[in-house]
Every structure is written in C-alpha cells, then in structure tokens.
Structure 1
Amino acid sequence: MILCCGESLIDMLPRETTAGEPAFSPYAGGAVMNTAIALGRLGAPAGYFGGVSDDLFGKILTDTLSASRVDTSLCAFSSRPTTLAFVTLKDGHATYAFYDENTAGRMLSEDDIPALDAGTKALFFGGISLVSEPAADTYAAFCDRAGDRVVMIDPNIRPGFITDEPRYRARLSAMLKRADIVKISDEDMAWLGTSPEALLKDGTALVLVTRGADGVDMHSREGMKTVPAQKVTVVDTVGAGDTFNAGFLAGLDRNDMLSREKLAAAWLDDLVLAAELGVQAAAITVSRAGANPPWEDEL
C-alpha cells in the first residue's frame, strides 16, 4: 500500500438554491486526500491516514475515499468536528475562510500514528497539513518512523497559512532530509532558499520540479532530464500537482521501482515511465473542472 498522510477537509462551495438564495454545498477536498483518490483511481494500492471526524462531513470524506478504492482503515477517527473551508468568489478569484480549531484533523496526535505492516511500501506527505500543530508535528514524527519505506514529500508551501515560520521551516527541513522523493515548484524552492542540488546533497534520491506546461524536470545525482507536458485545453489547474504525485508513485509501483534501494540506484531513464504517467494523469485533471483525477481506463 502507498499511504497518503495529511489533510482532508470539506470545501463549502458557493451555490444558489432553486429559490435563488445564496447557499454553500459541501465537497470533499484537501491536497493529500486528492493524491490518495488519484492513486486509487489509477489502480494503485492506496491508503489514507489523517484525523477524520465521525460527523456527517467526516462520512462524506470516507465515502469519497472508499468510492475511489482508498483504504481508510488506518485513519484516526474521533468525535471532533471536520475542518471546513468556506469559499467565496469575487471577480473570479477565490478567497477562503477556514474553520480548523480543535478539529479531528488538526488535533491528530502521535498516539494516533498507526503501526504499519510490511505491505506498506511508501508514505506520502504534503500540503497544509505540515503547517498547523499538533497535527503537523505528528506527521513529522510519522515521517521519522518510516523505516525502510519510500518517503515522498510535496511541501506545496502556502505562506499565508504559516503562523510560526521558524518552527515550520525547522519541521519541513527535517522531513525533506528524510525524503527519498521531493516534488517541488520554483516558488517553493525560492521560499525555502534551496535548490535541487542542495536537496540531493542532503540525501534525497530524486527531485521533481514541476513547470506546468513546460513539463517536469527530474533531478538526481546522474543529472537532469525533462519529461514534457501533454498539450490539452486547460479548464482549471485544481488538483494537477496532486494528480501528478499520484501518477508518479503509481508508475513506480507498476514498474517495481518503489523501494529506497532501487530509487537510489536508478538511472533517470528508469524513471521516465513513472513521470510520464504522472504527466498524463495530470493533463486529464486540468482538462476538466475541479480536482477530478482520472480513472485507469481513461488513460
């Protein structure tokens, strides 16, 4: 199983009732949850770990995960509320109001970290779940306990969410040093003051720099190789990076490359198929509205 560890939440999206009144409609969301869903739809053995409520919104989350063949048995369930993100649109731009204090996801503790069997090959971390304590510290501790499993991290930094920058930087730095695969953007690297070369020097086996329509640059100790993007008509880019992450991990799993030893010894040409699967899956996601990753038979 590839276990995705991080946030799941409810996006409350603006709608209008049949009577013409303004309303909000709940939709499952969260970057890490999107990655888990994309993995399951691509036929990979996918699991999700996070703090999930037993309220009606938590049921939306677990039902959505299960519908995409994602195992939720390792989740930490509680009666705390679900994180809600109310979205408002003005001139086509979205603004968010988050309700996250004392939620099931936010209050995840180290006592909630599950015991893993040998069937769990990889752990994926990322998103805003790495920002807010205590959950962020819990994910960092889980990363530190990964053992011989592959660890992939997509920091997906959102400076507006960060309230304790020194603590966040220290946490993320430690996690990146443990990561075997880092997917990162130019903006993330600029904010962190790092580079692919610096990440590789710290022990990462592979750095994936996504460049939108220009594809993805794969960096390893061998050098750099670019995998081009696929040309599509873009509807929106919501969930594109999350889908790429899933496609890359699914590709490694398909090609029997999902181990630390094989990644460390791999040539870049050995990893092209995984990157191409990530690019292909992401291209389908951006060609339709919302975070709606493709199913395996759509590829």
Structure 2
Amino acid sequence: MVPMTGNQQLGLTSGFRGHPRAAHAFWTPLVKAQRPLQYTKRLQHFNKISCQVGDAISQPSGSVISFGEALFDCLANERGVPKEEVKFWTPYPGGAPANVAAALAKLNVKVAFISALGKDDLAVQMMDLLAERGVDVSGVQRVDLPTRDVLVVYDSNDDRQFVGFGGPNESFADTAISADQLPLDALRNSAALVTGTLGLNFPITAEAMYKAVETARAGSAVVLVDVNWRPVFWDDVSRAPDIIKPYVSKADIVKLSDEEAEWLFGLAAADALQHPDKVLEQLPGVKGVLVTGGGAGCSYAFKGAGGKIGYTGIVPVLKVESTDTTGAGDAFLGGFLASLVKLGGLEALQADADKLRQAVEFAAACGAFTTTKPGAISAQPSQQEAEDLLRTSSFAPAPAA
C-alpha cells in the first residue's frame, strides 16, 4: 500500500496556506496555469538578503539545525480537476524542513536552517519569512538554479495530491545542497539535527545529507529523520525504499506515519500505530520512533539505557475544531524536538517515562493547534498556546486495537 498524500492524513502534509504575507503584492492570487513557474518573473540575481554560500551559522550549543528543502506549493484554485485542466494556481511557501525550523523558532528554540535556494525572488521571500520568525538562515546556500515550486491539485473529496513541478524535477535548487559548503562546526555543536528524505533522490544533496548526519553524530547532536514520503519527488519509486532505509537507519529517532511504516517495512498500518515497538524492531540502530496516524493519534517506542525497548505509548488526538491539517505533522515534529531540548536531551527521555510521554503529548498539542487555523507557519503555536491547549482540551478516546 502506498501512503496517501491527501490532507486527511495528519502528518503527511507540508507547506502552508493563508500566511498574512499573502496580502502583499507578491502573492498574486490567480496564476495562469500555462506558466506555473512564472507567477512572478524570476529575478536570477536578486540579492535583497545578503547570505553568501558557506556563511557560518552563528548558533551556540543547544540549538537545533533543520536540513532540507524549502519550496513553494502552487495550489490549484479549481477542485476535482486534473493538472492539465487547472486554469489558475496560488503559491504558498512550504517544505517540511522549513516548516519545522519555523515551528521551533516559535517555541523559542534556537534553530538554524540549511538548504539551497535560487537567486530569485522566491528565495528572498522564503529567507525573509524564516528570518522574521527568528530562524538563522546564514547556512542557506544560494545557487544558480530556481527555487522549487510544487503543483498541488485537489480531488473530489478535497484531498491534496502532489502532481508535479513547475519544471523538471532535477532542475531545482534543493537538488544541489553542497557538502563542501556545510557549516561543520555548527553541526558538531548542535543539540539536534533534523532532516527529511526527499533529497536522497538527488546525488549532490544526498551526499550533503550523509555528511551532515555523520558530522552531527561525531559531535553531540541527536539525529532525527522524518520519512516524509512523497512519490512525486522520486524518478524511480521502486528504488526509493532501498535508498531511504540505510539513511533512516543512521538516525537516533525516526518519525513516520503508519502508512509509511506499511510502505517501508511491510507492517499493517494499524499494527504499526498500535504497536510502535514493531516499527522500532525494524531499525536496530535507532533509539526511538514516533508514528503518526492522523485522526487515530500517534504512538511512540523508545529504547532504554540498556538498548532494549523500554517505553511505548499511544497518544490519542486532542479534541479541537480542525479547519486545515496542512503542516500539522511538521508542527508535531517541532514540538517534540523543542521538548527534547528543554527536558534534557534524548538520554533524559530514555530514562524517564513521564518526560517522554510529556514530550509526545506536547508534540500532539502543537500539531492539533496548527489544524485550528489556516496555514502551516502562521498557525503554529507558541509554547504558551500549546500548553494552554493541553490544559483546556481533552484527548479523544483511543481507537480500539
């Protein structure tokens, strides 16, 4: 079974809608479908923000680094029609690693973002947005390739489908994150490194991803990998599991959805959610897994100090009035990482069942809060807002096994 990419599956969405900057002139509300790449003229040498390739990230110990793609989701204005029949598109900033970085900054965690963006107006808008949130963007490389845009259509059930790009898949800036330009000292000194897996399809970025993980692990960083499966990014979907598995095996913590567990390891989705220890058993070198299941909640399994699976649990969804699940999984991940840093690190969570559950429940609150408003970044909660939601809302009954 291949995981759904619709917005009904909490934790499988990225990007955001309805950011306040949409009111600015840049956010052209209706974009001609014939030229989705050119909803604004690309300014190939627009240098409003000065950030040269390889600039050092000025991050102290205890910070988090988010590594990966930043892009623009071009959402079809028409519902229930195929890509070829869409007349207008609306662009919104997104990309799971960028969303996670923004979520961490909102939770008052020092965070830096490593990526590659073009020398175009889209890159400037993205960097400006993240910098305003408080994300250190000095590690973003600027390359002579366009910033990626993703075409997103909606089926008759209003579920999202990622159907392609505004150009050839391999032609975008995020395919060219250079290993030679990584801020190695920052990676060694960080508290945590979080990445996805989409870049593994592109050799240059894949090399940088492996180098970042190896450098972070050589220091003191906890490495967290979000599977974030998106078939549209892969030239040969059949090769993806054999490429993704070795990479996620290098992580300390892996986040994935129940359907991604089914796709990657052959476990039934319901079984993966109810028994996250079975997912962890598929990853011998990994210390913990977080399994998201949309409306069914989430679960976790972590090894104790002795290397045996010590703590497992299921956290149902919080009862909220959801309006837009876009970016909920990224907010969840940001919330968990924030708790990991603030509660003393991975070893502290491995040694204390209460702290571990507290971290997962806080993550669930961050994800739930994000669904109550439109937009992934604009809807992300502060620490106080997430804590207030935990106090004032209740968890739905856990689904039957």
User: What letter matches 2:111 in structure 1?
Assistant: A
What secondary structure does 2:375 align onto? coil
1:2 aligns with 2:64: yes
- How far does the alpha carbon of each residue in 1:207-243 deviate from its partner, in whole angstroms, 9 at most, with x for none? 1111223322111211411223211122122111111
Matched, 1:294 2:384: no
Q: 1:87 to 1:177 in 2, by over 3 A?
A: closer
Alpha-carbon offset, residue 194 of structure 1: 5.8
Q: What's 2:164 paired with?
A: 97
* Unmatched tracts of structure 2, length 5 or more: 1-62, 79-86, 268-276, 303-308, 387-401
What amino acid is the match of 1:60? Q
1:190-201 equivalence runs, <5 A:
190-193=262-265, 196-197=277-278, 199-200=280-281
Q: How does 1:1-299 map to 2 (within 5 A)?
A: 1-14=63-76, 23-89=88-154, 91=156, 92-95=158-161, 96-98=163-165, 99=167, 100-117=169-186, 119-146=189-216, 147=218, 148-165=220-237, 167-193=239-265, 196-197=277-278, 199-200=280-281, 202-220=284-302, 221-257=309-345, 259=346, 261-263=347-349, 265-291=350-376, 292-299=379-386
The structure-2 alpha-carbon separation of the partners of 1:262 and 1:172, relative to structure 1 and needing over 3 Å to count, comes to: farther
Q: Take 1:169 and 1:33, find their aligned partners in 2: how far apart are those partners?
A: 24
Distance 1:297 1:268, change over 3 A: closer
* Matches of 2:299 and 2:243, distance apart in 1: 26
Q: Deviations over 1:72-125 (max 9, x none)?
A: 111112232111123344533444331343322112232232213354111001
Task: Provide the identity percentage.
Answer: 32
TM-score by length of 2: 0.66
SS at match of 2:151: strand
Q: Higher strand share goes to which structure?
A: 1
For 1:194 and 1:90, the matched residues in 2 are separated by 27
Structure 2 equivalent of residue 19 of structure 1: none
- The total of aligned residue pairs comes to 291
Is contact 2:73-2:94 (8 Å) kept? yes
The AA in structure 1 aligned to 2:317 is A
Partner of 2:175, secondary structure, is coil
Q: Which residue number in structure 1 is paired with residue 29 of structure 2?
A: none
Q: Is the 8 A contact 1:4 1:47 kept in 2?
A: yes
AA aligned opposite 2:248? L
Name the aligned partner's letter for residue 327 of structure 2: G
Q: C-alpha displacement at 1:65, in angstroms?
A: 0.8
1:244 counterpart letter in structure 2:
F
Counterpart of 1:35 in 2: which secondary structure?
A: helix
Aligned 8 A contact 1:225 1:268 in 2: no
Output the amino acid matched with 1:215.
Answer: G
Cα distance in 2, alignment partners of residues 161 and 78 from structure 1: 20
- Structure 1 residues 133 and 54, CA, compared in 2 at 3 Å: closer, same or farther? same
Q: Aligned Cα RMSD in Å?
A: 2.4
Greater C-alpha radius of gyration = 2
Q: Is residue 66–residue 193 contact of structure 2 (8 Å, CA) maintained in 1?
A: yes
Asked which structure has the greater RCO (Cα within 8 Å, sep 6+), the reply is 2
Q: Any unmatched runs of 5+ in structure 1? A: 17-21
